Structure formats: C-alpha cells, structure tokens
C-alpha cells in the first residue's frame, strides 16, 4: 500500500530558492577550482599581459603610432579565447574520462548548473584579462581611449568569450582527456595567428586573408578593433557570424551530450 502511494505521489518541483542556490553554489565551486589551479590561471592571465607589455609597450616605438591601440584589441581577443577553449574543451574532456561528468548528471541539481558554472568562470577570467590590459594601455602605453571606447572594448571581450565557450564545449565532447591539451593548443594558437592577432592580415598571403572569416577569433578581433576606433566597415556582420558559429557549436555539443553523455 505504501509503495503504491509512493509511486502515485507527484514529485514536487524544487523551490526557486533552492534552484538559484544550486546554480550559485556550482558557479562558486567552478570559480574556486580554477582560481586554485595555477596551471590554468597563470597562462590564461599572464600570457596576453606579457605579450602586450613586450610588443604593445616596450617595442611600440618600432611600430606605427596605432600599434598599442591595435595590439590592445588583438591581445584582448587572444586573452578571452583561452578561458572558453581550455575551461570547457580540456576540462570537460578530462571530466568525461574520469567519470565526474556522469556524477554531476546524477546529482540532484539543475542540469545546466554545471555548464553555467564553467561559463561564469570563463567570463570572470575574461573580465580580469580585459581589465588588466586596459589598465596597462591607459597607464603604461598612454593609449588615448575615451571612457565609451574602454567600456565598449571591455563588453566586447567579456561577451566575446561565449563563442569560445561553445567551441570548447563541442571540443570537450569530441576529444579524449589525455590528448585534449595538445589538440586544443593545435586549434588555439593557429586560429590566433590566422585571424590576424599576431600580425595584421594585410601582411599575410591572400589565401590566409580569404580564409580568416572562418575563424571566430577573426570576427571578435574586428569587433574589438571597432571598439577602439580602428574598425573597418559595419560591425553587425561580425556579430551575426559569431552568433551563428556559437549556435552551431552549441547545437552539435548538446546533441552529442544527449546521445553519449
């Protein structure tokens, strides 16, 4: 009798307060986990800062007058790529291999809390990188940016990490954990080079220039350049391209996640 009553008893939905608490706790756990991981934190934060210090400040006199401004946009794009690609691509593939993802799915928490926590971590890292680069550009390179331009670049970098979160999610569902760091680097570094982050695309072969729009980093860099006053052409095609690429990456990743876990 009790078994029948238990089987017929409707399952009560989790109160909204507990749902929100689950999202917040998972986000806090993800952020703390990566803050305590110097192997992720150091290269993510300090590589773009070191590159900008070297090429955008110390060696800026050997380049054009707009070099510090151009490189601020470029290294901002470079800096926000890593949290999404490595935070999702490498971490997710390893967590699939060691069974953590299966455990997370079995826990009594909203299914999206795990992914939202990683996304919040990636956006926090992007915010720190962008903020530090803007501080260096303002106080060390003395780049003449208005408050509106600074805010526009910061917002571009902050939300610009989302396409790379989606790309990393797709990669994390495709590759094995042991080979994930090397394979993600094989995508991360060439994409940065082929998108014009190291050198202006006008200095590269025509074939590279024609293929550049394939990469999300190219479109984000064009938006970053537009934010600092060096844009060429309308911004909406790049926004549309990033939105489309993000949707494709997410659709593929979610489909594979549902089928294979």
CA distance 162 to 167: 9
Q: What is the pLDDT of residues 28-53, one digit of tens each?
A: 877 787 777 777 777 788 899 999 99
Taking phi over 0 as left and psi of -120 to 50 as alpha, with beta for the rest, 233 belongs to left
Per-residue pLDDT of 157-205, as tens digits, reads: 999 999 999 999 999 888 887 788 889 999 999 999 999 998 889 889 9
| 25-34, 85-94, 210-219, 230-239, range with the lowest pLDDT | 25-34
Prediction pTM value: 0.88
Split into its structural domains, the chain has a count of 1
Residue 114 inside a domain? The answer is yes
Position 7 in a domain: no
- pLDDT, averaged across the chain: 86
Residue 52, token pair as written in the block: 């900008």
Note whether residue 129 is domain-resident.
Answer: yes
Residue bearing tokens 């989790």: 14
In the predicted structure, residue 1 carries a pLDDT above the cut 50: no
pLDDT, one tens digit per residue, over 58-90 is 887 667 778 899 999 999 999 999 999 998 888
Query: What percent of the chain clears pLDDT 70, i.e. is strictly above it?
Result: 89
Cα 222 from Cα 136, distance rounded (Å): 21
pLDDT of residue 193: 94
Question: Which structural domain, as residue segments, surrounds residue 28?
Answer: 21-260
Which pLDDT score is estimated for 182? 87
Q: Is there a domain that residue 16 lies in?
A: no
Model confidence at 118: pLDDT above 50: yes
H or E segment to which residue 112 belongs: none
Give domain status of residue 5, yes or no: no
- Copy the structure tokens of residue 171: 């990669």
pLDDT given for residue 53 in this prediction: 93
CA-CA distance, 167 to 247, in Å (whole number)? Answer: 10
Q: Which DSSP string corresponds to 196-224? A: TSSS-GGGS-HHHHHHGGGSHHHHHHHHH
- Please indicate, yes or no, if residue 15 is contained in any of the structural domains: no
Provide the pLDDT for residue 34: 75
- If one compares 187 and 16, the residue with the highest pLDDT of the two is 187
CB atoms within 10 A of CB 80: 33
Give per-residue burial for 17-50: e unless 16+ CB within 10 Å, then b.
Answer: eeeeebbeebbeebbeebeeeeebeeebbeebbe
């Amino acid at each position: 009798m009790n078994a029948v009553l238990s089987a017929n008893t409707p399952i009560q939905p989790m109160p909204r307060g507990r749902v929100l608490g689950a999202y917040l706790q998972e986000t806090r756990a993800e952020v703390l986990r990566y803050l305590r991981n110097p192997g992720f934190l150091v290269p993510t934060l300090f590589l773009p800062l070191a590159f900008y210090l070297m090429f955008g400040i110390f060696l800026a006199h050997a380049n054009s007058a707009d070099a510090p401004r151009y490189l601020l946009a470029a290294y901002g794009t470079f800096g926000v790529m890593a949290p999404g690609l490595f935070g999702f691509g490498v971490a997710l593939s390893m967590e699939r291999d060691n069974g953590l993802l299966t455990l997370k799915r079995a826990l009594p928490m909203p299914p999206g809390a795990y992914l939202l926590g990683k996304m919040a971590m990636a956006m926090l890292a992007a915010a720190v990188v962008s903020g530090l680069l803007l501080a260096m550009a303002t106080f060390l390179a003395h780049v003449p940016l208005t408050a509106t331009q600074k805010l526009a670049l910061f917002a571009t970098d902050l939300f610009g990490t989302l396409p790379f979160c989606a790309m990393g999610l797709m990669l994390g569902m495709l590759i094995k954990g042991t080979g994930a760091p090397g394979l993600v680097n094989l995508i991360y570094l060439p994409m940065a080079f082929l998108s014009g982050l190291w050198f202006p695309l006008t200095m590269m072969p025509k074939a590279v220039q024609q293929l550049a729009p394939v990469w999300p980093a190219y479109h984000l860099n064009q938006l970053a350049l537009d934010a600092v006053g060096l844009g060429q052409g309308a911004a909406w095609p790049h926004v549309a391209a990033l939105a489309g690429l993000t949707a494709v990456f997410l659709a593929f990743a979610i489909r594979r996640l549902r089928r294979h876990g």
